[in-house]
Structure 1
Amino acid sequence: MKPYLLSLGAGLVIGIVYSLMGVRSPAPPVIALIGLAGILAGEQIIPLAKRLAAPATAASTQAEP
């Protein structure tokens, strides 16, 4: 989680600097960000499907006393 917070913090600092300098951000248009979100979500589908399709482990199939 720490790398995500550092990345967010760095982005905020850069955004403030851009604002103070009156420079427009080189960030991509919203449509590109939506596409990136789709890519990130797509990367998670296969691992999620594998976990859901995996047979139950021995620890989870043991009868409770």
Structure 2
Amino acid sequence: MKSPARKEVLTFVESLMAQYCEGCFLHRQLIKDGGRRKAHQFCISQCTVGQQIKEFGKKLS
């Protein structure tokens, strides 16, 4: 069974992604210009929302 804290973190990350990441113009443009890998790298290294999600991911492992 999952702990309540883990569920809260997952719920928060899902809400962040739904609010900010879905339909992100910059992400779509980076995919067109440089491919999925480049867009993903930008999101996890330079995007403030992506950095927050990365920090929450560290708490899960």
**Same topology, TM > 0.5:** no
TM-score computed with the length of structure 1 as normaliser: 0.32
